[in-house]
Amino acid sequence: MRSTLLVALIVALPLQAAAAREIRRDAVPEAFWGTWAPGDHACKDGDTSAIALSAKAYAGPSGTCAIVYVTEIPGRGGAIYSARMSCTGSGAQAQKKAIANLIIRADNAEQISTGPSFESLVARHRCAATAPAGKQK
């Protein structure tokens, strides 16, 4: 009986510590604001594979979404962000709302990886004229 209680306690403590490291934010960090494309060649007007991020909005292949909140989680190479979004449909489904998630991981100052899950992350480069104010080169 005591060994079962001890094992349960040992398992529960790390789970509480992991949850305590998560930070909930109201917006996407400013370092990620701008337009991001899968490759340098894709940063052209009308490119459908590019995504645009701002403090409270996402626009891209998944449609247009409002950022509800962002969770920051520590990772090996730096923080990993998970944005919870409320997306609206287009055309006949404009009244329909859907919830979506977007993982954002910084690879370096000019490249991030994004996707709905870790298995589907896509490397994206910042499009030239879209760095946040004070961050442009």
Is residue 44 within 8 Å of residue 38, measured between CB atoms? Answer: no
Tell me how many domains the chain contains: 1
Domain assignment present for 2: no
Structure tokens at 11: 């398992």
Structure tokens at 104: 């954002």
Give 61-114 pLDDT, tens digit per residue.
878 999 999 999 999 889 999 999 999 866 555 567 899 999 999 998 889 999
H or E element: which one contains 14? helix 2-20
Q: pTM here?
A: 0.74
Q: Which domain holds residue 101?
A: 22-130
